[in-house]
A and B are shown apart, each in its own frame.
Chain A
């Protein structure tokens, strides 16, 4: 992997704009880019969706396969997330073994979904101790213009929310296409989505572009779900070597709370169609 290099002049320009609450693309510091969701990218999987925040674009797909359960949870399906930061998405990425960016991305998304209880793993059991469904979420970056964590995370949720349930042929022990009317077992009440904030030149910025991302001090990802109309934190991850001061913490938690309130209903709609 090579680093994404930003000339000092461009860095100063971004910071000068932010000092006036402006950004190079015309947004305010806390403003998100337009969200676009497109369904049906591949008819051969349980689901495959394209999700865009401005120019950042990912495709996420869900596959279900027959598997043997783990001995310590014989009546539960299994789950695996992969994320591929493909070289088509940025000059920064290379072909080959996943780098730390891909690994962190996949792990943060995997944990967020797994630990929230969004997937009903018991509902994925076919025969206890013998046969369960294994759910794969595969994320491929198509164009990286920043904030890959939020875009990829949302794409994973939408792909799961729209995934069709495969039909199990018990006699021949194989999969016979999909049940178009039936989704995979999910607990819709625990849906949570992530918002990542960066600190750049003393300012807190939401939904960063690739250039903004490259010059930030730290990033802080906060996932929140619904608890009787109020946001509840379900996952967090801080990235990069900058530190979060007490003041940053207050500012970002307040911002996350207000953003969650305005975005959650719309995101819910996207996930469950």
Chain B
């Protein structure tokens, strides 16, 4: 990893620049659901629940060729310091859609025409990276529900703090650091086998070569995350899901 000279030389929590926060994954956390999982990274917690395939209503939205995936992402009102009004808002609707696209790239619902698979993602506690934590949980919940998947997906937030490339931004790095060149955050999702990009968003300032470098760091982090997801899936019903 190249560390260019900049003012951001040490992370608040002592992590290395390319180190992800400690992760915990559990599968099978909501008994009534077809699939469910939780994924925690540092102080960020996400839970995901899958219901379906089930008949899609209203009927005119049905697709006779394939089932469809529908994602609803939301933050719980008490998940951040300022209370969030319950219900959808512009941010949550956009995140729902990009998450839906990312997960749709790997699920195959062609065997379930006219149905919908609903994925509900909720964030009980937020410390940046909630959409990627939600996707990590949702991928496990889909697998837990037995939904046909071509491969898994793993998600990570990477970025640039001043001149330093970092993996897994916390809230301070994501939204409170404004000095020098400021903060660039880049949520990404990679497919497990082909290593293709299924989600990509970016805000900030970054050169093309730095972007390519941080993509490499994200891919590497996703390999570690995938291991945590797969271990949790193998452990369904077991005592120790960590």
Contacts and interface: CB of A to CB of B under 8 A. Distances in A.
A231 B209 CA distance: 11
A246 B100 CA distance: 22
A233 B212 contact: no
Contacts, number: 84
Interface string B92-126: 01101110111011000000000000000000000
A42 interface: no
Interface stretch (A8-16, A86-94, A102-110): A102-110
B242 interface: no
Nearest to B82: A72
A237 B104 contact: no
Per DSSP, chain A at the interface is mixed
B208 A237 contact: no
A234 B105 contact: no
Of listed B104, B203, B215, residue having the most chain A CB within 10 A:
B203
A238 B199 contact: yes
Task: Give chain B's interface residue range (CB within 8 Å of chain A).
Answer: 20 to 34
A244 interface: yes
Interface in A218-241: 220, 225, 227, 230-241
Contacts of B191: 243
A103 B215 contact: no
A195 B86 CA distance: 35
Contacts of B83: none
B47 interface: no
A241 B205 contact: no
Interface of B: 90-91, 93-94, 96-98, 100-102, 104-105, 186, 191, 194-208, 211-212, 215
15 contacts: A115-B203, A232-B205, A232-B206, A232-B207, A234-B204, A234-B205, A236-B200, A236-B202, A237-B202, A238-B98, A240-B101, A244-B196, A244-B200, A249-B197, A257-B208
Given A238-B101, A243-B191, 14 more contacts: A104-B94, A220-B200, A234-B203, A234-B204, A235-B203, A235-B204, A236-B201, A237-B98, A239-B101, A240-B101, A241-B102, A243-B198, A244-B196, A253-B212
